[in-house]
Chains A and B, each alone.
Chain A
């Protein structure tokens, strides 16, 4: 695997209705990094993730995952290296039981049934959801669905974990459990989120997208302290760096 694990170089993309989503976005991620991808609605966060997973392809510029350019011909390699957790777990959990769903990816890798079971069990254990294995997805809570959705990707043992708005639909306890899990993963992580507090907890590096281009890229603490930058990108600083609304202290 290449030392430069993920890269976008001058990537342009517009949706079929003509809406431009990315206009020359570029960045490079290295092995083991945890990166927050933040930006307002329409900034291009989800588009970047879909490009990395090979769900859509760049009009111009190049997208690379490991040693592979992301093209229709390299998808099998790309998807072994990169696992994507979608924003809505109901999009990700499509099989009758949790166990079936977590085993789906490893089974498609052509692994023998014993290894498929072992991987599914290990992934569910990792996210604390082994007790849910026989349950149908429609009987799970939002937090349980999120944990299982992450397990479906972990079971494929990707090098890179990519997540789109992982804290949406979670209650505070579920969100805290998710943060603890994400911090424990050693994978290279890319987390696209509006939840800047989560990004601050999980990611060492943050990339701000604005209007389809990279507006800032640096250590999370520095980027999230840039009030003007965040304001221009239609974002607000994480709650913990905002001043107290009553006394004005902190921040």
Chain B
């Protein structure tokens, strides 16, 4: 558990480096990422090929931020089982043929399944790259300055901070359990319930102490962080490039246009 949390925190370490992506105004990256996720979500369940040009955004951001592939893939793999679980049922629900590729018939369900996986890959990689090039705290401050509710950004900041403390407490509790239960080092369902209950009670007690400490230093509902943001020409250029990609991908069938231009695909694409 401790190792998992350390991996989570290491994305923040990547953001601390001086790279072109890290130098961009966090607000520009937040706007671009939110727009990107919204556009990805707006595509239909059979729009697999129309989504592919959007791969350019995470690839460009990863290149600008010099983000290594391995930590990104590790985090994607952590979340993948949930999405694979959803996508796995699609081929069973829709077996009607949707397209033909070189004599191979692809069912609507298979196409839909692949689209879900690509949407997941695009959306999560964009969110991870936002943190890896900006830092979680700067993302929260940017969200706040863009008008996100104070309660939301405060919760996000405190959750991120205390995730590590809670993780250490959980790891200690699990270790203590394992040491006194040599034949069953993993807690039973009942023991796990008790451990979770203890963690909840401890978290409530800690929350009260943290709130007291915050009030002692004048907390009145707003977490003020020392961050000064400034939009520069590079930020505007980044926003313009991201907007151009999103508008083009949404308004036109770029792979079909490319295929038509090359004479390899019909102008209607694979719809």
Contacts and interface: CB of A to CB of B under 8 A. Distances in A.
Contacts of B219: 104, 108
Contacts of A55: 212, 215-216
B224 interface: yes
Interface string A30-66: 0000000000000000000010011100000000000
B217 A104 contact: yes
Contact of B226 (A53, A91, A99): A99
Nearest to B209: A91
Contacts, number: 88
> Per DSSP, are chain B's interface residues mostly helix, strand or loop, or mixed?
helix
Q: Is the interface of A mostly helix, strand, loop or mixed?
A: helix
Contact of B210 (A94, A97, A136, A152): A94
A88 B136 CA distance: 24
B16 interface: yes
A79 B217 contact: yes
Given A99-B226, A120-B226, A91 B9 contact: no
Interface centre among A84, A104, A116, A117 (most CB of B within 10 A): A104
A113 B214 CA distance: 19
Interface in B103-125: none
B200 interface: no
A212 interface: no
Contacts of B217: 79, 83, 104-105, 108, 152-153, 156
Given A138-B9, A156-B217, A88 B225 contact: no
Q: Interface size for chain B: under 10, 10 to 19, 20 to 34, or 35 or more residues?
A: 20 to 34
A91 B206 contact: yes
Contacts of A86: 209, 212-213
Contact of A96 (B137, B209, B220): B137
Nearest to A90: B165
B65 to A, nearest CB: 18
Nearest to B138: A96
A103 B9 contact: no
What are the 5 tightest A-B residue pairs by CB atom distance, in nearest-first order?
A108-B218, A96-B137, A105-B217, A138-B164, A91-B209
